[in-house]
């Protein structure tokens, strides 16, 4: 291991983490609806109110999730383990350097965020959440309120709505390896037969 | 009019052949000669060779320049591109540059954190993750557009590769993660070092369940350990490398001057074993600075000098494009 025992990572979620059940319950409570949409629009009309609201969100989410205020929250589909607390800020799953014990390669005293995410999502019967493709972070949004964005539908395209491993998205039915010519219309390896994975949606 | 790629690696895989790739790390210095020397050792034995991108976050000659040297030495390069040092502007730009220079294979990876390298204070970029960059690269090639939506004329031509570590936690997600890479655009994948063949087989069966071997060519990573010290270094310092007790016992069980030989024997055995696993399309020889051992390992595994697969095989194959 490199010399020093890793400088502490700046923001970490409080221990113990919010129970996954509670987190998903919160998801239902905070789900966008007409009331929240109007509330968010109203808050955004007044800069002071907006700053206050954003600060409150930060106060709540920083200790709960180690939130960095990226302004585009992935928590609903990552078992409420924040991918931005990964030292590589990976939004689509763990890197290949996770220790055999599930530790982070960069901060070995911390568990890999994605190991935590996988366990938490799976424990609530939602492992499919992790099979969506996340689009890149928009770095203009740092510091914004993700809740205001979420309630006003600005986060609808952060990730694909489909589980990209669902059979419907597979390029043709599996046949014996390397046996036949692919059926007409069947793609080459890597091709996805759907409009779902458009870069801009 | 179909575009005919000149990737010999793609041609080999598309023809259903067993592919062999290896790895060259460019030098810490401003000369291509070390790359040329390593290319001379490997030419004829492999279909293509990875040229690493500042591996371990240590500054080396760039992977694009190294790829060009390999190409000019008659060895097909697989240019590695990590997301560690470049934002989305530079990544897309370099993908265009590589294609313009005739580099036909690109391997996309997240990359080691700068903390592990010789510039630990460097800014870790990670603007895109490997999956997002694969997605962007496929969009550039197939849709002819940048991430911004602006059109490319002409689009790049590249055979897109990814990496996966079948042994890292969370075990239940590793095949699915490959699935995400395939959905994003990966056409071939090279795995982390395989020493534990049963564990690799377990991962491969999950890959089968997801049908991924039908959509992506899977190359198992194999390496010859040359000393006990090298083994210990890899186990302790290279993130994501797992060396099982059995391998460690075998290498420690022979006299010091026979370790390299035993390491090569283990590598040859692993090659023969993974070849038997359905869906394994080839092997990737991770040299770990030991390129000279590659021909010996390959011939011990029954993989002799390669016959040439020409681009014509691609044109005649429906996997080609």
As a whole number, mean pLDDT of residues B113-122 equals 96
Angle between the N-to-C axes of helices B174-184 and B197-209, in degrees from 0 to 180, rounded to the nearest 10: 50
Number of H helices, E strands in chain A: 5, 0
pLDDT of B236 reads 87
Burial class (CB in 10 A: 0-12, 13-18, 19+), B248: middle
Nearest residue of A to residue B146 by CA position?
A199
Mean pLDDT for chain B overall: 92
User: Is B164 within 8 Å of A188 when comparing Cβ atoms?
Assistant: no
Domain count, chain A: 1
What pLDDT band is residue A190 in, cutting at 50, 70 and 90?
Answer: very low
Nearest residue of A to residue B170 by CA position?
A115
User: Is B127 within 8 Å of A91 when comparing Cβ atoms?
Assistant: no
From B231, B222, B237, select the one nearest B256 (Cα to Cα).
B231
User: Is B132 within 8 Å of A170 when comparing Cβ atoms?
Assistant: no
User: Distance between CA A38 and CA A36 in Å, rounded?
Assistant: 5
pLDDT of B306 reads 82
User: Distance between CA B70 and CA B57 in Å, rounded?
Assistant: 21
Q: Where does B8-315 sit in CATH, by number? A: 3.20.20.220
As a whole number, mean pLDDT of residues B90-106 equals 98
Picking from A105, A114, A122, the nearest residue to B239 by CB comes out as A105
pLDDT of A13 reads 87
Picking from A106, A135, A190, the nearest residue to B182 by CB comes out as A190
Kindly list the domain boundaries of chain B, sorted by start residue.
8-315
A8 lies in a domain?
A: no
| Least Cα separation, residue A14 to chain B (angstroms) | 22
pLDDT of A183 reads 37
As a whole number, mean pLDDT of residues B191-213 equals 96
pLDDT of A29 reads 94
> Does residue B124 belong to the interface with chain A, where contact is any CB pair within 8 Å?
yes
pLDDT tens-digit profile of A158-174? 998 777 887 654 443 33
User: Distance between CA A22 and CA A20 in Å, rounded?
Assistant: 5
User: Is A177 within 8 Å of B210 when comparing Cβ atoms?
Assistant: no
As a whole number, mean pLDDT of residues B282-310 equals 84
User: Is A92 within 8 Å of B129 when comparing Cβ atoms?
Assistant: yes
Number of H helices, E strands in chain B: 12, 8
Q: Is the dihedral of CA B267, B269, B275, B278 positive or negative?
A: negative
Encoding tokens for residue B155? Answer: 């689009």
Nearest residue of B to residue A170 by CA position?
B211
User: Is A139 within 8 Å of B240 when comparing Cβ atoms?
Assistant: no
| Least Cα separation, residue B33 to chain A (angstroms) | 31
A86 lies in a domain?
A: yes
- B112 CB neighbours in chain A (<8 A) are 97
pLDDT of A12 reads 85
- What does the DSSP assignment read for A107-154? STTSB-HHHHHHHHHHHTT-GGGGGSPBPPP-GGGTTS-HHHHHHTTT
Least confident range of A94-98, B74-78, B151-155, B307-311: B307-311
pLDDT tens-digit profile of B127-158? 999 999 999 999 999 999 999 999 999 999 99
Instruction: Decide if B117 contacts B54 (C-beta within 8 A).
Output: yes
Q: How far, in Å, are A121, A140, A141, A149, A156 from residue A29 at the CA level?
A: 18, 28, 24, 16, 18
Which is higher by pLDDT, A178 or A151? Answer: A151
User: Distance between CA B78 and CA B55 in Å, rounded?
Assistant: 14
As a whole number, mean pLDDT of residues B69-83 equals 97
A112 lies in a domain?
A: yes
Which is higher by pLDDT, B15 or B2? Answer: B15
What pLDDT band is residue B78 in, cutting at 50, 70 and 90?
Answer: very high
Range of the domain at A121: 20-169
Prediction ipTM score: 0.91
- A174 CB neighbours in chain B (<8 A) are 208, 211, 213-214
What pLDDT band is residue A197 in, cutting at 50, 70 and 90?
Answer: low
pLDDT tens-digit profile of B46-74? 999 999 999 999 999 999 999 999 999 99
User: Is B242 within 8 Å of A100 when comparing Cβ atoms?
Assistant: yes
What pLDDT band is residue B165 in, cutting at 50, 70 and 90?
Answer: very high
Distance of CA B246 to the CA centre of its chain: 26
What pLDDT band is residue B304 in, cutting at 50, 70 and 90?
Answer: confident
User: Is A100 within 8 Å of B169 when comparing Cβ atoms?
Assistant: yes
Q: Is the pLDDT of residue A2 over 70?
A: no
User: Is A105 within 8 Å of B320 when comparing Cβ atoms?
Assistant: no
Instruction: Give percent of chain B with pLDDT exceeding 90.
Output: 87
């Amino acid at each position: 291991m490199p010399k020093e025992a890793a400088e502490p990572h700046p923001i970490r979620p409080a221990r113990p983490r919010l129970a996954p059940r509670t987190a998903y319950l919160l998801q239902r409570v905070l789900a966008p609806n007409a009331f929240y949409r109007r509330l968010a629009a109203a808050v955004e009309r007044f800069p002071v109110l907006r700053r206050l609201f954003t600060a409150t969100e930060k106060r709540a989410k920083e200790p709960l999730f180690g939130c960095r205020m990226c302004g585009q929250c992935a928590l609903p589909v990552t078992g409420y383990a924040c991918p931005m607390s990964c030292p590589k800020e990976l939004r689509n799953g763990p890197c290949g350097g996770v220790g055999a014990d599930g530790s982070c390669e960069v901060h070995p005293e911390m568990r890999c965020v994605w190991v935590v995410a996988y366990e938490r999502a799976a424990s609530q019967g939602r492992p499919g959440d992790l099979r969506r493709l996340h689009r890149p972070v928009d770095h203009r949004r740092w510091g914004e309120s993700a809740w205001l964005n979420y309630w006003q539908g600005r986060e609808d395209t952060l990730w694909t709505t489909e589980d990209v491993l669902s059979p419907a998205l597979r390029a043709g039915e599996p046949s014996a390896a390397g046996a036949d010519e692919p059926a007409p219309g069947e793609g080459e390896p890597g091709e996805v037969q759907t409009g779902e994975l458009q870069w801009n949606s | 009019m179909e575009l005919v790629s000149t990737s010999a690696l793609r041609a080999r895989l598309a023809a259903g052949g067993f592919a062999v790739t290896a790895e060259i790390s460019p030098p810490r210095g401003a000369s291509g000669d070390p790359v040329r020397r390593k290319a001379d050792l490997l030419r004829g034995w492999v279909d293509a060779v990875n040229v690493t991108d500042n591996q371990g976050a240590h500054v080396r000659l760039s992977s694009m320049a190294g790829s060009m040297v390999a190409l000019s030495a008659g060895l097909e390069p697989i240019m590695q591109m990590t997301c560690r040092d470049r934002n989305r502007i530079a990544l897309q730009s370099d993908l265009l540059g590589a294609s313009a220079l005739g580099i036909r294979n690109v391997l996309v990876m997240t990359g080691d954190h700068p903390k592990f390298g010789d510039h630990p204070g460097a800014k870790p970029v990670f603007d895109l993750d490997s999956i997002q960059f694969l997605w962007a690269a496929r969009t550039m090639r197939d849709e002819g557009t940048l991430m911004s939506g602006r059109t490319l004329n002409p689009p790049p031509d590249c055979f897109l590769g990814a990496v996966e570590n079948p042994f890292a936690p969370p075990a239940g997600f590793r095949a699915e993660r490959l699935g995400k890479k395939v959905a994003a655009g990966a056409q071939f994948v090279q795995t982390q070092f395989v020493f534990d063949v049963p564990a690799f087989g377990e991962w491969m069966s999950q890959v089968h369940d997801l049908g991924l071997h039908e959509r992506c060519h899977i190359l198992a990573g194999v390496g010859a350990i040359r000393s006990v010290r090298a083994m210990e270094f890899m186990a302790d310092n290279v993130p994501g490398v797992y060396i099982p007790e059995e391998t460690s016992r075998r290498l420690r069980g022979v006299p010091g001057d026979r370790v390299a030989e035993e390491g090569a024997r283990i590598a040859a055995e692993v090659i023969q074993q993974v070849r038997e696993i359905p869906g394994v399309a080839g092997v990737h020889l991770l040299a770990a600075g030991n390129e000279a051992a590659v021909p010996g390992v390959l011939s011990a595994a029954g993989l002799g000098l390669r016959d040439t697969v020409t681009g014509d095989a691609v044109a005649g194959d429906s996997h080609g494009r």
